[in-house]
Amino acid sequence: MTTMKDLRTLEVWFVTGSQHLYGPEALAKVAEHSQVIAQSLDKNSAIPVNVVFKPVMTGPDAIRSLCKEANNSENCIGLILWMHTFSPAKMWIAGLSLLTKPFVHLHTQFNQHLPWNTIDMDFMNLNQAAHGDREFGFITARLRLARKVVVGFWQDADVISELAAWTRAAVGWNESQNLKVARFSDNMREVAVTDGDKVAAQARLGYSVSAYGIGDLVAVMNQVTDADVDKLVAEYRETYSIAEVHDRADSIKVAAKIELGMRAFLEAGNFGAFTDNFEDLHGMKQLPGIATQRLMASGYGFGGEGDWKTAALVRTMKVMAQGLTGGTSFMEDYTYSFGDSPIILGSHMLEICPSITTEKPSLEVHPLGIGGKEDPVRLVFTATSGPAVVASLVDMGNRFRMIVNEVNVIPPAEALPKLPVARAVWLPQPSLKVAAAAWIYAGGAHHTSYSQALNFEHLEDFAEIAGIELLRIGKDTTIEQFRKELRWNETSYWMNSTSGH
Ligand code: MN
């Protein structure tokens, strides 16, 4: 069962700019070339949505109409803009000023190589993106528009990869505009970083966040039939390994009922993400463990202790990553191993998504130690090794800030026989010493969205579209430079702040 929608229902529009100066013959060529490029991108499996060719733009009225059409199209998630010839950019002011969909500026040329022996003025007049795209670049800079600029021959792997990353960011942005987050209870009392301005979040990022009493969820749980519980328990037994000591039929039944109830609640309300809080579980016998893990695996975002920002981020990143190798999960920096090569053990009380492992999870029942409820059922596994990112979204009072750390996930040094939770072990770049200091200077949360499918570029493109601050902690980070960046950003956001966020 998945909550994901088919990305092939979404479209990116391929729009080429020109003008009437060159005559109908040249414009026909421009259209022909654009169609070839659009079709080639559409067929490329790296770009997960349809790329739709649009007529060549030659005047301000057509450009404005097209931008309005894009705004109103449910399926259009963004535009690829390219100036094959010179397209006087004042023509673009009206359209771009009202465009609400993101765009990428593709700076390419139909021909890869210069035809040294045959090049003449006709060729020069037709293939002038080199200066046409500079004119267009000026107006996007002059209007201070959010955008990504991709440079290179349209068949080159790096160009495809950069367009693909941006397309996924646009997919994430589209999801964010339509996302509903359900909170079962409020934030954990007195916790700061998981809270924030939900009005600003909706205004800036699009998603709506609503709280529900646990009683509302329990009422749905109580409607779950025994037959459905038995069916889900059978699925657990088929999917996971269960050691005899953990084969506690009553506990497993309770867990299955919680999953079915939560799933029904989230489906009925068309939610894409949710939070819970172990301080408030009235009428529930266990803190949701396996339920939350499996809901995440089927695409829901989740944040523990009422953390709605991380829940929304996990969901957005899951949708962005759809179809890529590697999972995405709610995560928490839990504990360290210092020494020669300091590492982080990431985990949570229970709620780590099994999409981040290729091993068969072990279903286990252990006491929780906090919350005062019955022993919760959970899936225990270790995350697959390889590169990953952890991302945190915090509310700085006048803006949202995203902090991203690039990390390398490694196998645990030893077996962890007594650790009753799913986990990931990683080396943060450039080192734990620098990464953790930078993270703390930036105010990054202990909760993150962890992804092995996405990389920094996906999140960079998303942050650009969303207009939020982005801080990268990676192989080139130094504390000296990072602290300057924090100071400069502070000034920049104060000077440009209009609405608080
Ligand atoms: Mn937590």
The pLDDT of residue 74 is 96
pTM: 0.97
186 C-alpha vs ligand 1 centroid, how far in Å? Answer: 14
Q: 410-446 burial, b if ≥16 CB within 10 A, otherwise e?
A: eebeeeeeeebbbbbbbbbbbebebbbbbbebbbbbb
Place 47 in a pLDDT band, splitting at 50, 70 and 90: very high
On the question of pLDDT at 497 being above 80, the answer is no
Could you give the dihedral angle defined by the CA atoms of residues 310, 199, 473 and 313, in that order, rounded to the nearest 10 degrees?
Answer: 30
* Cα separation, 205 vs 189, whole angstroms: 25
The string of pLDDT tens digits covering residues 243-297 is 999 999 999 999 999 999 999 999 999 999 999 999 999 999 999 999 999 999 9
Looking at residues 404-419, what average pLDDT do you find? Answer: 97
| Of the candidates 354, 381, 379, the residue with the CA atom closest to the CA atom of residue 450 | 354
Crossing angle for the helix pair 308-320 and 456-466, to the nearest 10 degrees: 120
351 C-alpha vs ligand 1 centroid, how far in Å? Answer: 9
The pLDDT of residue 471 is 98
| Of the candidates 430, 207, 425, the residue with the CA atom closest to the CA atom of residue 331 | 425
305 C-alpha vs ligand 1 centroid, how far in Å? Answer: 6
On the question of pLDDT at 11 being above 80, the answer is yes
Report residue 324 CA to chain centroid gap. Answer: 12
Task: Work out the mean pLDDT of the chain and round it to a whole number.
Answer: 96
* Cα separation, 422 vs 347, whole angstroms: 6
Token couple for 300: 């829901």
380 C-alpha vs ligand 1 centroid, how far in Å? Answer: 17
The pLDDT of residue 2 is 67
The pLDDT of residue 1 is 55
306 C-alpha vs ligand 1 centroid, how far in Å? Answer: 9
180 C-alpha vs ligand 1 centroid, how far in Å? Answer: 21
The string of pLDDT tens digits covering residues 319-374 is 999 999 999 999 999 999 999 899 999 999 999 999 999 999 999 999 988 778 89
366 C-alpha vs ligand 1 centroid, how far in Å? Answer: 18
The pLDDT of residue 245 is 95
On the question of pLDDT at 499 being above 60, the answer is no
141 C-alpha vs ligand 1 centroid, how far in Å? Answer: 41
| Of the candidates 366, 424, 398, 464, the residue with the CA atom closest to the CA atom of residue 170 | 464
Q: Please give the backbone phi and psi of residue 233, each rounded to the nearest 5 degrees, phi first.
A: -60, -40
304 C-alpha vs ligand 1 centroid, how far in Å? Answer: 5
The pLDDT of residue 498 is 61
217 C-alpha vs ligand 1 centroid, how far in Å? Answer: 21
Place 3 in a pLDDT band, splitting at 50, 70 and 90: confident
445 C-alpha vs ligand 1 centroid, how far in Å? Answer: 10
The residues with which 106 forms a beta bridge, in sequence order, are 150
Q: What is the CA radius of gyration of the chain?
A: 25
290 C-alpha vs ligand 1 centroid, how far in Å? Answer: 16
287 C-alpha vs ligand 1 centroid, how far in Å? Answer: 13
The string of pLDDT tens digits covering residues 52-101 is 999 999 999 999 999 999 999 999 999 999 999 999 999 999 999 999 99
CA 446-165-101 angle, 5° bins: 95
Place 500 in a pLDDT band, splitting at 50, 70 and 90: low
